[in-house]
Amino acid sequence: MAEEFKEAQREHRSLTAVPEKRLLIWMAQRLPRAIGPDHLTALGLLAFLVGGLAYARVPHDPRWLHLVNLCLVLNWLGDSLDGTVARVRQRLRPRYGFYVDHMVDALASLFLLLGLAASGLVTPWCAIALLVAYYFLTINMGFATHALGVFKISYGLLGGTELRILLMLVNLLVLVKPTFGWEGREVLIFDVVAVGGALGVAVTALRSLAQVTRRLYDLERLD
């Protein structure tokens, strides 16, 4: 018999959180029963694997960016809908779902950002810096969830959906113009996006680290 497990409280306050939740529930209620949460999780992983390969093909033909954007949509569908389907159908496996979902997210991000690093659209170290910052935030999120019992899906107004939309817009922008002039030299647009994103994610993770540490210190203060 499985030991009792209390699922962490979910905290999601991004810009699209409310309409996205309604849309996902509507879709989950109409999804064929043959398609389960595990199928959707696999779809999310496969989408970013294909997206990474499409990024790697961009040096041969920039139009591969359209496939990357399609993969971002499919990843959102799989990654966001799997848990909703489990909840709507009352087929919850909170420990399995939490662990598998976040390990899949980590692998999917690796596939996509390695592909971006090979695309020629960005200096490779910039893409790697963004990946490292994302992993740092993910590690902090996992430990904080365990320690506080609160799972933060978003930080501030930005969550996974908003970041996917921003990336899709950048893909469309660089499809037309991948660089811009700055003090007599051409700068890759994706370099600015990747470095800015890495700094933003790192600052968010460090801020969360400080907040969680202070909260835990107050909860377990010693006389």
Rounded Cα distance between 96 and 216, Å, is: 26
pLDDT of residue 155: 64
pLDDT at residue 2, as a whole number? 47
- Report which DSSP code applies to 93: -
Give the mean pLDDT of the chain. 89
| Tokens linked to 89 | 């159908």
* Helices 94-117 and 124-148, axial angle in degrees (round to 10): 170
Q: Please report the pLDDT score of residue 64 as a whole number.
A: 97
Phi-psi label, residue 188: left if phi above 0, alpha if psi -120 to 50, beta otherwise: beta
Mean pLDDT on 23-50: 95
How far apart CA 56 and CA 127 sit, in angstroms, is 13
Among the listed residues 110, 109, 119, the one whose alpha carbon sits nearest the alpha carbon of residue 188: 119
Q: What whole-number distance in Å separates Cα of residue 3 and Cα of residue 67?
A: 44
Lowest mean pLDDT among 93-97, 128-132, 162-166, 219-223: 219-223
Q: What is the pLDDT of residue 11?
A: 59
Name the phi and psi angles at 36, rounded to 5: -110, 175
Q: Per-domain residue ranges for the chain?
A: 9-219
pLDDT digits (tens, 9 = 90+) for 131-188: 999 999 999 888 888 888 877 666 666 778 889 999 999 999 999 998 888 877 889 9
Structure tokens at 107: 């692998």
Beta strands in the chain (DSSP E): 9-11, 150-152, 179-182, 185-188
How far is Cα 76 from Cα 112, in angstroms, rounded to an integer?
13
Across 63-81, average pLDDT: 96
pTM for the full model? Answer: 0.87
State mean pLDDT over 55-83. 95
State mean pLDDT over 50-54.
97
How far is Cα 173 from Cα 149, in angstroms, rounded to an integer?
A: 40
Which conformational region is residue 221 in: left (phi greater than 0), alpha (psi within -120 to 50 degrees), or beta?
A: beta
Query: Stretch 195-214: mean pLDDT, rounded?
Result: 92
What is the spatial distance between Cα 93 and Cα 114, in angstroms, rounded to a whole number?
Answer: 31
pLDDT reported for residue 151: 73
Q: What is the mean pLDDT of residues 56-81?
A: 95
The CATH homologous superfamily to which domain 9-219 belongs is CDP-alcohol phosphotransferase transmembrane (TM) domain (1.20.120.1760)
Angstrom distance (rounded) from CA 9 to CA 35: 26
